[in-house]
Amino acid sequence: MSFFNFKAFGRNSKKNKNQPLNVAQPPAMNTIYSSPHSSNSRLSLRNKHHSPKRHSQTSFPAQKSTPQSQQLSSSTPQSQQLEASEKSESQQIMFLSEPFVRTALVKGSFKTIVQLPKYVDLGEWIALNVFEFFTNLNQFYGVVAEYVTPDAYPTMNAGPHTDYLWLDANNRQVSLPASQYIDLALTWINNKVNDKNLFPTKNGLPFPQQFSRDVQRIMVQMFRIFAHIYHHHFDKIVHLSLEAHWNSFFSHFISFAKEFKIIDRKEMTPLLPLIESFEKQGKIIYN
Instruction: Output the known binding site.
Output: 228, 233
Cβ-based neighbours of 146, under 8 Å, separated by 6 or more: 19, 20, 21, 22, 24
Q: Which helix (H) or strand (E) covers residue 67, if one does?
A: strand 67-68
Residues 231 and 88 sit within 8 Å (Cβ to Cβ): yes
Omega of the bond leading into 26 within 30 degrees of 0 (cis)? no
Pick out the residues of the known binding site for Zn(2+).
228, 233
C-alpha torsion 246→252→258→259, nearest 10: -170
Cβ-based neighbours of 192, under 8 Å, separated by 6 or more: 198, 199, 214, 218
- Do strands 162-167 and 4-9 pair parallel, antiparallel, or not at all (unpaired)? parallel
**DSSP-derived 3-state class of residue 277:** helix
